[in-house]
Chain A
Amino acid sequence: MTEPLTFPPKKDPQKRSATPTRPPEARSRASLALTAAAAEGRFALQVCDECQIVQYPPRDACMNCIGTDLRWNDVSPKGHLLAETTVQTSTKLFFRERAPWRMGSVKLDVGPLILCHIHGDCTRDSAVKVLNRLDKSGQAVLIAIPLERSDHMDDDPQLRALSAHPKHRRILITDAWNPNTPALARALLDAGAATVFVGEAESWRPHPNRDALASMANVEVLPLDVTDTSSVQKLAGEIGGKTDILINNARFLRPGGVLSRGDTGFARDEMEVNYLGLMRLAQAFGPGMCARTADGVNSAAAWVNILSAYALSNTPEYGCYSASNAATYSLSQSLRGEFRSSGLRVMNVFVGPTEDDWHAPLPPPKVLPQSVARSVLDGLNDGLEDVWCGDIAKDIRDRWRKNAKVLEREMTFGSDGA
């Protein structure tokens, strides 16, 4: 059984900090579909349309009939561990620094033989389940885990390297005012986070979350205004070196599209908070976090953006807000590219309309703060890049993938007026 991970001792500044290294990143184009599945936590393999044979490694033609119509389908992740080895030495620095490293071959129930990482709790010649996860290079890798969960199995070093689990980590939530902040803080602490820092704008004004946050141990509320560069830089100067996960939930939201607003005032606020706020945070916290992705148990692991699902396709009732989120989503993709070589993961949580004042005119279903918190936790635990929170977010995702233009037309039907 996996031993529980112990809290790391205080860092000795005289000693070398491990520098970020990565496992191999190169993949064929076909293989990137496995990465796309891992980004949402799915185990999918290619299946031949003609003969239904499940294939691995990813390829461009069927190994059975040479047909070229190979579809990525979710398949059973169960299999049998056939052989294993512990790699004691590797020519790749990433593994060299982490040796010994357990890997093996698993015969999947659906057919193919896969090489994969092996969780420490797997025993020889046993039934296993295979997870498809993103590694530090941002690419999909497979890891075999036992069928039965054990208490501390998330603490297994090989599995933990494929996640951004909050345990023992120090986490910044950027907006104390957001209704989801207390639920997020609670969930992170329950999952073993060491400290939750909460950024608070306009500290002189009372807000309903203050008491809830004050009642939690290991929560520190600190001044932070994401529209103010010097405020962001000041906080980064104080806690940037010990921020392991940053959750940007800062949000400025007002209803309305272009014509329903008389000027660009709210749109400017939306861009200041939602878009430029992310940019300021990334410029202040990003470099420090990127430098600390290999820094032991409480290394920097993830950057989380909480976005509106309407970032994918505009809803004119919240047209300007949607637009600011589309900009933020696009910027997050740039950040992914810029963080990639450090191994720092960018996770976007796309949320449907939330249960709050500004969404009151909309019919249900709506997303509760606890749901956002659960999505964030699940995403960190599984090391995801894209998380869809709430039924509406999933609905928009599916329709967008099916046909983005059809979705656009459905979202923009006119009304005939009264």
Chain B
Amino acid sequence: MVKARQNYDGVAITAPFSMPYQRYSIDTAHWWIAKALRGSLTAANLKPSDLDGFSVASFTLFPDSAVGLTQHLGLCPRWLDHIPMGGASASVALRRAARAVQAGDANIVACVAGDTNHIDSFRNMLSSFSRFAQDASYPYGYGGPNANFALLTDRYMKEYGATREDFGHICVAQRDNALRYQNAVMKKPLTLEQYMSARPIADPIALFDCVMPCAGSECFLVMSEDEAAKRNLPYAMLGGAIERHNAHSEDDIQLRGGWTMDIDELYAMSNCTPDDIDLLQTYDDYPVISMMQIEDLGFCAKGEGPEFVRSHDLTIDGDFPHNTSGGQLSAGQAGAAGGYIGMVEAIRQVTGTAGGTQVKNASIAMISGFGMINYDRGVCTSASILKTGARA
């Protein structure tokens, strides 16, 4: 019997901040990270010197890492982390930071993710993403993630009878949500007809199945509940968090993710069930991945994702609020910040500070992450459940 994991009691997640995304930026990742960090510190009325823990996720800091950032930004943390897990980084950063706070290794940890997007920087990033991708994926049409996910979507559709309309439901609902989120890059409504007739990118994936690479950054703070209460900050509490890497490697094509190995534990730790979740933030680099998460996180059985999205309203006011800030599909994919967009939005939701995208009476949110197409599949998965600690 594996030893039961300790709970995350006493930890507060607070001061969510999102820098408005830009399609292209002439600024650096350092600049974007500084902006988001300043945003969270200001929200919590803290100075940089008040931080003693710092966690960074970014693809475009090269040649720097979190280490270089400490000197660059003049920080002096006694706890430092760099999370190279892209879309899975938020829940991973959060659970590590939470443990540091619980153990007293750090009092106040800033978790930040940010990337810039120069013209051509997406192309350059692709070429050096991973060794297996370099050796065995990109020489085949250089479709980047589009091609990988096209294969996965192709197989998923065949295996479970999903149609392009089913994926379209997810994308169209997220665009509705994005129209209520002021920072979203996409400002125009999207109809199912537009989705269906969009330019093909890598069959069966078309334009609106793909995210728009952009520049942006996201940040939140982790501290003790006492600290948050003392500072009179609205905060969320962490019910549970899981991560898993290279799961189900025996599957020929990825039709499920590592969540399936740990999801029961996540609900048990969080003392809730799928029915209790008020809103879900999935990692939506492609709609098929969101559908897979809806299944693997226990909202329906494997293969029932298509029927689930047909029979539910995924908008903010619907019966299954999903990616309430528009997700990456409509708000844009700001590199590693794409792993944070759902987390930061979820903190706002359960603390009652989401403004235009606020789900009524949201008190339990689930955030799911997925990242790093190392060769033919995403290697990292993560998820966490946030609950209301103190509302604004």
Contact = CB atoms under 8 A, between A and B. Distances in A.
Interface of A: 23-24, 26-28, 30-31, 56-58, 63, 82-92, 94-95, 101-105, 107, 113-117, 125, 135, 137, 139, 141
A115 B127 contact: no
B138 A101 contact: no
A63 B132 CA distance: 13
Contacts of B122: 91
Interface stretch (B4-12, B49-57, B106-114, B151-159): B151-159
Nearest to B128: A26
Interface residues of B, number: 37
Interface stretch (B141-149, B233-241, B323-331): B141-149
A340 B358 CA distance: 58
A57 B142 contact: no
B142 A92 contact: yes
7 contacts: A83-B158, A83-B253, A87-B147, A88-B202, A105-B252, A115-B375, A117-B140
Contact of B202 (A27, A85, A94, A135): A85
A91 B154 contact: no
Contacts of B155: 82-83
Given A26-B134, A27-B134, A82-B252, A90 B143 contact: yes
A105 B150 CA distance: 11
Nearest to B131: A28
A139 B126 CA distance: 18
B386 to A, nearest CB: 35
B136 A57 contact: yes
B296 interface: no
Contacts of B142: 23-24, 87, 90-92, 94-95
Given A24-B142, A113-B252, A85 B151 contact: yes
A231 to B, nearest CB: 41
A28 B134 contact: yes
Contacts of B375: 57, 115
Contact of A139 (B132, B139, B147, B151): B139
Contacts of B137: 115
A85 B142 CA distance: 12
A53 to B, nearest CB: 12
B147 A103 contact: yes
Contacts of A83: 151-152, 154-155, 158, 253
B201 interface: yes
Given A103-B143, A139-B139, A85 B154 contact: yes
B131 A87 contact: no
Contacts of A63: 249
Q: Among B127, B142, B147, B154, which residue has the most Cβ atoms of chain A within 10 A?
A: B142
Given A28-B131, A84-B151, A135 B139 contact: yes
Interface string B281-302: 0000000000000000000000
